[in-house]
Amino acid sequence: MDKLNLAKKFLADAMEEFQTYLTTGEEENLRQACEKGWGAVAQLLMHASGKELTQHRNFGVVARQLTEKTGNRLVERAEMAGEALHAGGFYHGALSPEAVKAALDVISDLIEIVDELFSH
C-alpha cells in the first residue's frame, strides 16, 4: 500500500477509534485516535517528500516546503495538529475530545490537498 493510501487508512482508523471513544468513554480509544491521526500526517508528509522521514523536525520542514509550494497554510497547521495529537494526546492524554476531533478534521483536509497535488 502506498503512503497516500496508508495515510487514508490511518485517518479512517483514527475516526473509528474516536467514535468508539464517544460510545465507550474509554480513554485508550481517544489516545489511539490521536496516534493514528499522527500516523496519517506522517505518511502524508513522507508521500509528499518522497522520503522516509524519521525525525519529527523533518516533518515540519516538509510541511513548510509544501506550504510554500501550495500557498496553503493549512499544510503547516495540519502538521502541528498531528504533532499535538502525538505528544499531547497520545503521550500525555492532555487533549479534549473536541480538540482531537478538530485536529482529525484538519488532517482530513490535508489528505485532500496532498491527494490533489500528487495524483496526476
pLDDT in tens, 103-119: 999 999 999 999 998 87
> Cell 500528487 identifies what position?
118
Structural domains of the chain, with CATH: 3-118 (1.20.120.330)
> What pLDDT sits at residue 120?
61
> What pLDDT sits at residue 38?
97
Whole-number Å distance between alpha carbons of 30 and 47: 26
> Cell 496516534 identifies what position?
35
> What pLDDT sits at residue 6?
97
pLDDT single digits (tens) 18-61: 999 999 999 999 999 999 999 999 999 999 999 999 998 999 99
Query: What's the chain look like in SS3?
Result: CCHHHHHHHHHHHHHHHHHHHHHHCCHHHHHHHHHHHHHHHHHHHHHHHCCCCCCHHHHHHHHHHHHHHHCCCHHHHHHHHHHHHHHHHHHCCCCCHHHHHHHHHHHHHHHHHHHHHHCC
> What pLDDT sits at residue 119?
74
> What pLDDT sits at residue 1?
81
pLDDT single digits (tens) 66-91: 999 999 999 999 999 999 999 999 99
> What pLDDT sits at residue 4?
94
Asked if residue 50 lies in contact with residue 105, where contact means CB atoms within 8 angstroms, the answer is no
